Amino acid sequence: MLNAIGHTPLVQLTRLVEPEAAEVWIKLEGANPTGSYKDRMALAMIEGAERAGRLKPGQTVVEYTGGSTGSSLAFVCAARGYPLRIVTSDAFAREKLATMVAFGAHVEVIHSPEGITPELVPRMMRRAAEIVTEVGGYATDQFNNADMIDGYRGLGREILEQLDGRVDAFCSYIGTAGCFLGVGRELHRALPDVLRVGVEPAESAVLSGGAAGTHHIEGGGPGFRPPLLRDDDIDEVMTVPEAEAFAMARSAARDLGVFSWPSTGANLVAARRLAARLGHGKRIVTVAVDSGLKYLAGDLYSEAS
């Protein structure tokens, strides 16, 4: 099952942009086994810990997660035989909570009806640390785990192979920054002039120097700078208002057939802006983070929206 991770399709979105704009290509990461690029980093975190002897056979793995990492870790732990304890919240899609349970994880839910507040992720982190002590577990601690960046290097290499080494810019919505860093560093190694654009919610524009705030673009905008993100990893930050990210996710499904979530909507908003700015002859790559099937129980695609 773990060999099914990666090698996802990359397609060009010709109708997203004007004819005089740059090309936009999107990596369809919903094709991974749990429907998200997080499968790549979950495997990298477990294999990295196994290799270094930090994770013992049968030891309990512990993580705080918005649900995508948890679903992927639950999948990898099921395939590898590790018990898993998860701390998450009802601010995130309930399909993800159900997925973790389906793969056999023990899931603890922190109530946060307001959405993703600046206090939520730190609270989840504190509870996960308590569980690690209680059960003698192994903390994958995604925000501080350098192994997870390696999980996305393959994504960067696939992009280079699929586009014959020609990429001018890469943009991606930032949560832990794992995808942005793994892909960005791999592209930068091959193409030192590539433009690496990080994307964040306008309502919590911390990387742009703004204040942390509440928003609903699940997957990123945690309200603090991800610790693994260095200044020389990022050339530019773009902010996208959540209303624009949600509208783009809906229109991407209806008009382009790209079925995902507003983190991908934010990626597409940023890619379209970059395409207009860089112009004809340039090539921009972004990522469809996950499958829209993870979000059907919420409001995103409901008839009322």
What residues make contact with ligand PLP under the rule CB under 6 A?
66, 68-69, 173-180, 218-220, 261, 263, 289-290
Is the CB of 44 or the CB of 174 nearer to ligand PLP?
174
Is the CB of 216 or the CB of 282 nearer to ligand PLP?
216
**Cβ neighbours for 232, distance < 8 A, ≥ 6 positions apart:** none
Is the CB of 220 or the CB of 223 nearer to ligand PLP?
220
Q: Which two tokens stand for residue 113?
A: 């009806």
Q: Which residues pair with 85 in a beta bridge?
A: 62, 106
Q: Kindly state the smallest distance separating residue 222's Cβ from ligand PLP, in Å.
A: 9
Q: Name the residue type at position 108.
A: E
Is the CB of 103 or the CB of 261 nearer to ligand PLP?
261
Q: Name the residue type at position 132.
A: V
Strand extents, DSSP E, the chain: 10-12, 23-28, 61-64, 84-89, 106-110, 138-139, 169-173, 195-201, 236-240, 283-288
**Cβ neighbours for 48, distance < 8 A, ≥ 6 positions apart:** 145, 147, 150
From first CA to last CA, the distance across the chain in angstroms is: 36
Q: Which residues pair with 135 in a beta bridge?
A: none
Q: Name the residue type at position 230.
A: R
**Do residues 190 and 163 touch, judged by C-beta distance below 8 A?**
no
Measured CA to CA in angstroms, residue 202 lies from 42, 205, 210, 248, 273 at distances of 28, 5, 9, 15, 15
Instruction: Tell me if residue 96 is catalytic.
Output: no
Catalytic residue among 27, 38, 96, 282: 38
Q: Which two tokens stand for residue 246?
A: 């949600």
Catalytic residue among 71, 172, 260, 263: 263
Q: Kindly state the smallest distance separating residue 217's Cβ from ligand PLP, in Å.
A: 8
Is the CB of 76 or the CB of 177 nearer to ligand PLP?
177
Q: Kindly state the smallest distance separating residue 263's Cβ from ligand PLP, in Å.
A: 3
Q: Kindly state the smallest distance separating residue 174's Cβ from ligand PLP, in Å.
A: 5
Q: Which two tokens stand for residue 255?
A: 């008009």
Instruction: Tell me if residue 38 is catalytic.
Output: yes
Is the CB of 88 or the CB of 214 nearer to ligand PLP?
88
Q: Kindly state the smallest distance separating residue 235's Cβ from ligand PLP, in Å.
A: 16
Q: Kindly state the smallest distance separating residue 79's Cβ from ligand PLP, in Å.
A: 20
Nearest residue (beta carbon) to ligand PLP: 219
Which residues are catalytically annotated?
38, 263
